[in-house]
Amino acid sequence: MPASTSSSSTTSSGDFFKDQESSQRPLWREVFVGLEWIALRSSPVYYGLGVPRGDGSAVIVIPGFMGTDMYLQEVYYWLRRIGYRSYMSRIGWNAECVNTLVDRLSETITKAHADTGRKVHLVGHSLGGVIARSAAAQTPDRVASVITLGSPFRGIRSHPLVLAAGERVRERIRRQNGNLPPDCYTGYCGCAAVVAVQNGLPESILQTAVYTKSDGVVDWRVCVTDDSATNFEVSGTHVGLVFNASVYNLIATRLKASGHIG
């Protein structure tokens, strides 16, 4: 269902994206992700029944923080079953410099666009959605739509354990790359990838923000846009957004809605 946003969550994405603070999320709820996976495989949606069919256009799926393409195989093969030409992101392990990850995703976008001769669609989970929005903002001529799943593109408000993991990644990046700016791997970084997220998406790209208020990792308020018509609430866990039948139905519906753009 579309979400209405409060005044505290409708700040323009520019400065808001720079915010980073601890949020005591119900991390324990994430243990229920297995139930979501079981429910997905027993749902008609998983088998392509009762959802809008694809038109053969390209859809790239992007993993979240500390993840790789491997855990997105369910949605990858499902997209093929319903008629799309799906691609893995090929960004590698999502625990590197955001600018580097966006550059890798842009290469996959270029390939998918060349393969199909049409604009592509991006589906990003968690931090993968932030990377998707950055890449799309930098290559709007090749992207038709962006769907984010629990993606904190309006600021980093996460469970303390997640923030601590992010700080460890940041320190590793600094050790490996020498004298990087002190704001590297934060919302204050001046790299092209972060600036693109701050600037937002052009109107030519249809955006969709899927979120769950029971998210145990990220505060859902930083996962929605200013336009309530593009925000969709589902029930479930943060990790389980990629194994959620309601999310799959939303993806199919929104891809269909943006098909004329590609």
**What is the average pLDDT score of the chain?**
85
- Tokens read off for 202: 């052009």
**Rounded average pLDDT over 121-125:** 98
- In which band, very low, low, confident or very high, does the pLDDT at 13 lie, cut at 50, 70 and 90? very low
* 208 closest CA partner among 132, 119, 101: 132
Give the Cα separation of 254 and 61 in Å (integer): 15
Q: HSE-up of 15 (CA within 13 Å, CB side)?
A: 3
pTM for the model stands at 0.86
Task: Tell me the three state secondary structure of residue 184.
Answer: coil
Q: Are 228 and 4 in contact (CB under 8 A)?
A: yes
Q: What is the pLDDT of residues 185-241, one digit of tens each?
A: 555 666 788 888 888 999 999 999 999 999 888 999 999 999 999 999 999 999 999
Give the Cα separation of 46 and 39 in Å (integer): 10
Give the Cα separation of 221 and 108 in Å (integer): 30
- In which band, very low, low, confident or very high, does the pLDDT at 83 lie, cut at 50, 70 and 90? very high
Domains defined along the chain, listed by start: 7-256 (3.40.50.1820)
Query: Between the CA of residue 169 and those of 13, 116, 151, 239, what are the distances in Å?
Result: 24, 36, 18, 20
Q: Are 243 and 41 in contact (CB under 8 A)?
A: no
Determine the angle formed by the axes of helices 98-116 and 127-138, rounding to 10 degrees.
60
**Rounded average pLDDT over 172-190:** 66
pLDDT at 1: 47
225 burial (CB, 10 Å; 0-12 / 13-18 / 19+) is buried
Residues in a beta bridge with 147:
123, 208
Q: What is the CA angle 73-254-106, rounded to 5? A: 60
Query: Between the CA of residue 90 and those of 14, 40, 68, 98, what are the distances in Å?
Result: 28, 25, 8, 14
pLDDT at 169: 74
Residue 43 has pLDDT above 70, yes or no: yes
Task: Tell me the three state secondary structure of residue 72.
Answer: helix
pLDDT at 131: 96
